[in-house]
Amino acid sequence: MPQPTDTATPPHDGHRAAHRLVDVPGGRIHLVEQGTGPLVLLLHGFPETWRSWRHQLPALAAAGFRAVALDVRGYGRSSKPAEVAAYRMTAHVADNVAVVHALGEDTATVVGHDWGATIAANTALLRPDVFTAVGLLGVPYAPRNGVRPTDAFGMVGGDEEFYVGYFQRPGRAEAEIEPDVRGWLAGFYASLSADTMAPDGSPSCFFVPSGRKMADRFVRDARPAWLSEAELDALAEEFERTGLTGGLNRYRNVDRDWEDLAPWDGAPLTQPSLFIGGEHDSSTTWMADAIEAFPAALPGLSAAHLLKGCGHWVQQERPDEVNRILTGWLRSLT
């Protein structure tokens, strides 16, 4: 794999992917870019890296765009601040703005999946002067409301603990994951992929019984079709090197985010927008009300696509379909 460089000028001819590091206020961000043309930032979710966009980079480049996939703060080769509060939403927004400027651009489209979708939405919300369009995969936009997130999550699940609450205490989830990173990742990916997830009616891995682990309800001995052994090895190697704390710290800032974003309570995203979700993704079922509210929350929505037979890992489970939708939408913006 090519080594990152520390230059603010494009180090490649646009035909192949290039790795680089750029300075941001909180440290440095590692990114992979391919292509020339209008800038498109791609933000991954948990627990992933820039590699979740490996199918989109060449497709967007071939369509005439400068596609840039980040290792979000706390992941991969990007900086990993020690303080939990360093992973608040406003810090991620500042990273994304700094990346655009480091790449010599004034504006960009931002596209995210999972937590990356929420980061993308808030990046567009807070900096509409820089981010002129937003694409959301997996997790729909839901404007801030008056309920503190941890209070809301505490009311979910009855006697069982919702996974976001389970992730709150530093060190707790790490103690479950890090003794067998590859096994935990394999189970998590399989449990949320349409071709390997447990049948309807099975206990959800998103709810943790008292004294148990999240992984106790993972699908075992199954590997999704989209996830090769080599790809799983590469992801496991990366997280074995970095640990999971950076990614988990995103969950540990939900209340800080709620406080920081108070001035934007109920605010819609007015830029041109796109949503792509999976039919069998829990995010699209839990947040069905948010999808129904798109006419008010996303007045610039071009289209909302719910992919039949697709799970959570949308752009990896259905790369060709996602590439077709994304490139068509991006071309409509130019």
If you search the block for the tokens 């700094």, which residue do you land on? 98
Residue 110, phi then psi, degrees to nearest 5: -115, 135
Which helix (H) or strand (E) element contains residue 34? Answer: strand 27-34
- Among 289, 285, 104, which Cα is nearest to 197's? 285
Six-digit token pair at 206?
């998103």
Total residues belonging to the chain: 334
Six-digit token pair at 21?
């590091």
CA distance 107 to 38: 9
Q: Is 113 a catalytic residue?
A: no
Contacts of 215 (CB under 8 A, 6+ apart): 176, 177, 183, 184, 187, 188, 205
Are 262 and 144 in contact, with CB atoms under 8 Å apart? yes
Say which of 30, 44, 92, 114 is annotated catalytic.
Answer: 114
Phi-psi category of residue 271: left, alpha or beta, with phi > 0 → left and psi -120 to 50 → alpha? beta
Six-digit token pair at 140?
């729909």
CA distance 114 to 287: 13
Q: Is 44 a catalytic residue?
A: no
Cβ burial, residue 85 (10 Å; 0-12/13-18/19+): exposed
What three-state secondary structure class fits 168? coil
Six-digit token pair at 251?
């969950």
CA distance 142 to 283: 12
Catalytically active residues are: 114, 312
